[in-house]
Structure 1
Amino acid sequence: MSKIAISIGDINGVGIEIALRAHKDIAQWCEPIYCVHSEILESALALLGKEEVFDSVLRSMCFSPPAVGFLENLRIQAGEISALSGAYSYESFMQAVRLAQDSQCDAIVTLPIHKKAWQLGGVPYVGHTEALGAYFGVHSIMMLGCESMFVALFSDHIALKEVSPLVKDSDVRDFLVCFARSVCLNEPCCVLGLNPHCGDGGLMGNEDEEICRAIKEANKILKKDLFFGAYPPDSAFSPLNRERFRYFVSMYHDVGLAPLKALYFEESINVSLNLPILRTSVDHGVAYDKAYKNDASLSLTSYFNAVKYALKHQKNKKDFL
């Protein structure tokens, strides 16, 4: 049975409750290894008022806790941004990474962190993707979606004003080739332009001409027509296009993820590509407003899909370099 390391995310958010509620199902598919201290989960159970309900679940869990020197000061503060919770979620994540790097697990799945808490906790990265890229010394590609639609991001967590200077044909070409190899792409992929109407022949910028050149060069390198475009971003996700394409590449974060989340918010996951390990994640935040309230609306779908994707694709992780 495959082993999946689970980083617990921000302990002040919904991650722990998701892990506890989903464990019985997840344990039927794989051997989950939770990167958290059992004492933290026991505290969470007390806050949820579920000690008796989840007692057998807790005893069946396998732990690989991160080595931290501040555990005695760490307390769950439901719905609060905390430097210690940020630092702990990062250490949990890095423990999962080390397990994967040492081949003690087949992939890692991450529960949600809070970016501000990471910053307060002294973590020098915006999020998981950037941390993985820095750790392995490569460009980590962020792809989000579900089996119905996946969106890869040429640029992700940067300011919009910084995107345009990055759109050069050689850089976009290299990204497309790397992405295709990372996901073993064997079906057509729609590449979005940057400007309204793809620049209207240069009337609104020439970045889209760079994208079109990159597409031709990437297909030539791959010896197959896999990438098509550039498509105007406002119509790229039309029903007709979604019948033709399951994979999309967006030049920046929001134009690609807005339609994805409108269509598949609860189903969507986050995947980090171009790495020697496979990392998947839920595609939602810490939901502080729902934390430790036994909220019946709390969905497990994204978490289930993240684990299923990891199990399905972990055998191809060596192709992600």
Structure 2
Amino acid sequence: MTAPIALTLGDPAGIGPELAVAAWQALRNTGPVFFWLGDPVLLNNAVPFRLIEKPEDAEQTFSDALPVLPITCPILVTPGQPTSDNAPAVIESIERAVGFVLEGRAGGVTTNPIAKHILAASGFAYPGHTEFLAALCQTTGQEVMMLASPQLKVVPVTIHVSLRRALETLTTDRIIAVARATHSALQNDFGLVSPRLAIAGLNPHAGEEGLMGTEEQTIIGPAIAQLKNEGLCVSGPYPPDTMFSATARPKYDVAICMYHDQALIPLKTLDMAEGVNVTLGLPIIRTSPDHGTAFDIAAPVGSASRADPSSLLAALRLADFMSQHRRGNSQ
């Protein structure tokens, strides 16, 4: 048995609380076991729940009640109306979840969606979950974002920066570092013995031999050569407009992309419901549903929910899957 997964609060005015309820209803008889770090007031008795003091209590109660490790929101929550006054609860939920995994008391963290601008208004200094998790793990600069679904896995080399900034910061060394972290995670956490990495080009037609840009020759090509010298199975650079086709995808295990939208647009187009955000390069397992807070459809728990729990369910299952592989590889 692996340790339970820690599911964070997310923005309490979004769909996080109702997703926690839906996830427990779907998984209570099959697992994986998880506990929710959130405010029990938000559950409104929609499902039976039991307050726990420590992650170790989740296993014995999970089939009968949603285990809740209480995190109190300072301000009364109105669904669909976020406030930065509740940011301390959102942040505490993440911090405690990460702490439990670092202590070996939880198998991984699955994060409910946050609203970055709401946290920023409270003075939160990070652009998103990914960077905050790296800081908590003291691995800043090593974090790598993967989006995974049954149809496609993608990893952007640059993440939460403007497109102009992404082009300015794209380097050979960064591509190499991201590819190494991805290769290691696919081996240790996904069970792939020899992962196949496909490297995307940056420019139209992958630069068309320098006619449409030279980054493929000056930045990306040298990274591919170095990775091949290290024994990694890498290929490319491929034209981004063709490498995600149905005939191309079976030829690789993950696509290494040069910037955020180059990676996320094909993933979300192909499989928004089953897409999972995974943070690589950390000493912990972290997954998240591949959608936002959905304030526009957030409903009081107990009312009819329009939120689709598919991505959260996939995130919880993937966190457990990765935790089992990592634990097996460490023994």
The TM-score range, normalised by the shorter chain, is 0.7 to 0.9
Q: Distance in 1 between matches of 2:273 and 2:86?
A: 25
**Equivalent residue, structure 1, for 2:79:** 78
TM-score (norm 1): 0.88
**Equivalent residue, structure 1, for 2:48:** 56
**Equivalent residue, structure 1, for 2:169:** 166
Q: Does 1:252 align with 2:265?
A: no
Q: Distance in 2 between matches of 1:218 and 1:31?
A: 38
**Equivalent residue, structure 2, for 1:230:** 237
**Equivalent residue, structure 1, for 2:229:** 220
| SS, match of residue 247 in structure 2 | helix
Higher mean alpha-carbon deviation, 162-171 vs 288-297, is at 288-297
| SS, match of residue 293 in structure 2 | coil
5 Å-filtered alignment, 1:64-213, equals 64-66=69-71, 71=73, 73-138=74-139, 139-184=142-187, 185=192, 186-209=194-217, 210-213=219-222
> Between Structure 1 and Structure 2, which shows a larger proportion of helix residues?
1
Gaps of 5+ in 2: 52-64
- Select which of 240, 247, 255 maps to 2:247: 240
Q: Does 1:263 align with 2:264?
A: no
Q: Does 1:309 align with 2:312?
A: no
Q: Distance in 2 between matches of 1:287 and 1:281?
A: 14
Are 2:49 and 2:68, in contact at CA under 8 Å, matched by a contact in 1? no
TM-aligned CA deviation for residue 61 of structure 1: 2.5
| SS, match of residue 316 in structure 2 | helix
| SS, match of residue 29 in structure 1 | coil
Spell out, residue by residue over 1:127-179, the C-alpha distance to the aligned partner (whole angstroms, 9 max, x if none): 11011122223211100121221111111100100112222222211221121
Spell out, residue by residue over 1:178-229, the C-alpha distance to the aligned partner (whole angstroms, 9 max, x if none): 21012215232211111112222223332212212211211221x24x2110
TM-aligned CA deviation for residue 104 of structure 1: 1.2
Higher mean alpha-carbon deviation, 269-278 vs 210-219, is at 210-219
Q: Distance in 2 between matches of 1:81 and 1:123?
A: 15
TM-aligned CA deviation for residue 296 of structure 1: 5.2
Are 1:154 and 1:251, in contact at CA under 8 Å, matched by a contact in 2? yes
* Alignment-mate amino acid for residue 94 of structure 2: F
TM-aligned CA deviation for residue 124 of structure 1: 0.8
Are 1:151 and 1:256, in contact at CA under 8 Å, matched by a contact in 2? yes
TM-score (norm 2): 0.85
Are 1:176 and 1:215, in contact at CA under 8 Å, matched by a contact in 2? no
Q: How many residues align?
A: 304
**Equivalent residue, structure 1, for 2:37:** 35
| SS, match of residue 248 in structure 2 | helix
Q: Distance in 1 between matches of 2:272 and 2:251?
A: 21
**Equivalent residue, structure 2, for 1:286:** 293
* Alignment-mate amino acid for residue 150 of structure 2: E
Q: Distance in 1 between matches of 2:312 and 2:50?
A: 18
Q: Distance in 2 between matches of 1:55 and 1:151?
A: 36
RMSD: 2.1
| SS, match of residue 93 in structure 2 | helix
Are 2:108 and 2:285, in contact at CA under 8 Å, matched by a contact in 1? yes
TM-aligned CA deviation for residue 262 of structure 1: 0.9
Q: Distance in 2 between matches of 1:133 and 1:215?
A: 26
TM-aligned CA deviation for residue 86 of structure 1: 3.1
* Alignment-mate amino acid for residue 227 of structure 1: V
Q: Distance in 2 between matches of 1:249 and 1:297?
A: 34
TM-aligned CA deviation for residue 297 of structure 1: 4.1
Q: Aligned in 2, Cα 1:38/1:297: closer, same or farther, shift over 3 Å?
A: closer
TM-aligned CA deviation for residue 58 of structure 1: 5.6
Q: Distance in 2 between matches of 1:295 and 1:256?
A: 34
Q: Distance in 1 between matches of 2:170 and 2:209?
A: 16
Higher mean alpha-carbon deviation, 185-194 vs 154-163, is at 185-194
Q: Aligned in 2, Cα 1:187/1:317: closer, same or farther, shift over 3 Å?
A: closer
